[in-house]
Structure 1
């Protein structure tokens, strides 16, 4: 994906994302790129600074610290059940397994089904440690 800063002949500036430079050119040639303010399709790319990432040695942000703390807490206070998360959550909810804190992985359709059945689940903002290198 590529983001372009664009401008119409009336001076209205805006940004838009495209699959590639070729995709932008094809859409523009077909008249599908237009100014959102005035509708003019004579849009041109304008000068824009490239997006540059921060140095890898930058201190972690507050959000990263909170997520790291959450991960440590979850992993220390719950059982990792891997891809069996949906089945184990359902067994606990039905009384077929002892109730305890668990974490693991579930497909989106499995998670939706658990929620529809009234089984309390929540996504975690990290990948379990056991799945990372």
Structure 2
């Protein structure tokens, strides 16, 4: 996985996880990445500090916040790691009983909502425009919170 610092046209910064730089470029082009604060799909990579290794005989002190706790770049607090692990496990369990519909997510969601298809729990891909349209139609959608590799992209 590659982690990029991203920002929207309004200056909000957030992090995105991608399988490759090409995957990032594809998702931006399709409008699949939206700012979690304002919903803007005008997204770009934010400047990042390069990861430069230290000499073998040097050890870096973890950066500290104003109250002395380790922050970004330091060790992840055990509570955060535990919470993220639990979230990933809950999501994986939920996806076991959910049908992956890929790019047909918007179409399948509408079919279920309007009774044209049997009710089912589904997950898949939708552009930001499709997501907005579904919400405007009263169709409940929610993003996956942990990184997910679609079944058709698994090695």
- Using structure 2 for the length normalisation, give the TM-score: 0.46
Aligned length: 88
Structure with bigger gyration radius:
1
RMSD over aligned CA atoms reads 3.2
SS in 2 for 1:72: helix
> Match of 1:73?
93
> Match of 1:52?
73
Specify which structure has the higher proportion of helix.
1
Q: Gaps spanning 5+ residues in structure 2: where? A: 6-45, 49-62, 64-71
* 1:79 Cα offset (Å): 0.4
Q: Within 5 A, what are the aligned runs for 1:1-133?
A: 19=47, 52-54=73-75, 61-129=81-149, 130=151, 131=153
Instruction: Report Cα offsets for 1:31-65 as digits up to 9, x if no partner.
Output: xxxxxxxxxxxxxxxxxx6x63549xx99702321
* 1:98 Cα offset (Å): 0.7
Q: Gaps spanning 5+ residues in structure 1: where? A: 2-17, 21-48
Q: In 1, Cα distance between the equivalents of 2:127 and 2:147? A: 13
Q: In 2, Cα distance between the equivalents of 1:121 and 1:97? A: 17
User: Where does structure 1 differ by over 2 angstroms across 4 or more consecutive aligned residues?
Assistant: 51-55, 126-133
